Amino acid sequence: MTLAEKVYVLLRRDIVSGALPGGQPLRLEPLRQRYGAGFSPLREALNRLQAERLVVQAPLRGFSVAPISRAEMWDAIETRITIEVEALRRAIARGDDGWEARIVGAFHALSRQSARMGPRDQPGGEIHQALEARHRAFHRALIDACGSPRLLDYAERLHAETERYRLPVLAGDGAGAARDVPGEHRALMEAALARGANQAAALLAAHYRRTGAALEAQFADSPAPAKPETA
């Protein structure tokens, strides 16, 4: 891994986790001290993150973390649904036994890690980081047989955009705690394995929209944009 790649990974992680909040200036000297990298790798990482909509640049003001808003959140969620539903339909049509095995394995790993979470395990801790990695791996397994590297790349970028909103909230009052998220994941797995493309697509869209609805309390100062009806 090059130094620029390492800086990109660390900076992206800090933005997605909320360690660097929306709107915060990203001045090169403080970043150099924070990540131990020179200006050239930092600029390369910032330009890459700007292409992913996690960083913005303004004339005479330099780089800053992309601001967050309810409208931006829903735009990212709905675009993620569009991309991943298409990828899921293609994966269901193309997936072989290996694809099915990867889904089952990812679901099992996610379930085991969920069982390890206790009330004292805080976001950012080792157990929680492992849970997030397995959660991401499960959703990736659902679509990884779609046959389109571009769809997978767009899905990865949109995952980061939406995680910016979800992860910091986990450190608060547990928004959405009343949901049966493991049950939603199981239903998704079963629909995919049964090759029920329409059912799986509807479940995936509903899963992401429920998460969005649980996060809206962050933006109580502005009305929510209209959202499509769940399929």
Instruction: Return the domain boundaries, the chain.
Output: 3-65, 70-97+146-219
State whether residue 146 is helix, strand or coil.
Answer: coil
For residue 183, what pLDDT band results from cuts at 50, 70 and 90? Answer: very high
- Angstrom CA distances, 103 to 110, 134, 160, 204, stand at 10, 11, 21, 14
Strand partners, 58: 62
Check pLDDT > 80 for residue 146: yes
pLDDT of residue 175: 47
Number of CB atoms found within 10 A of residue 171's CB: 13
With beta carbons less than 8 A apart as the criterion, state whether 45 and 79 touch: no
Checking if the pLDDT of 226 tops 70, the result is no
With the CA atoms of 93, 96, 98 and 99 taken in that order, what torsion angle do they form, in degrees rounded to the nearest 10?
0
Report d(CA 64, CA 111) in Å as an integer: 37
pTM for the predicted model, two decimal places: 0.83
Report yes or no: 146 and 78 within 8 Å, Cβ to Cβ: no
Chain-centre distance for alpha carbon 25: 23
CB atoms under 10 Å from CB of 98, counted, come to: 10
| pLDDT confidence tier of residue 212, bands split at 50, 70 and 90 | very high
Fold of domain 3-65: Arc Repressor Mutant, subunit A (1.10.10)
pLDDT of res. 222: 44
3-class secondary structure per residue, 105-144: HHHHHHHHHHHHCCCCCCCCCHHHHHHHHHHHHHHHHHHC
Task: Identify the bridge partners of residue 63 per DSSP, sorted by sequence position.
Answer: 57
Question: What value does the mean pLDDT take over residues 131-156?
Answer: 95
Do 16 and 160 form a contact (C-beta atoms < 8 A)? yes
* The one-letter amino acid at 148: S
Query: What local confidence, expressed as pLDDT, does residue 216 receive?
Result: 83
Q: Identify the CA nearest to 171 among candidates 109, 122, 105.
A: 122
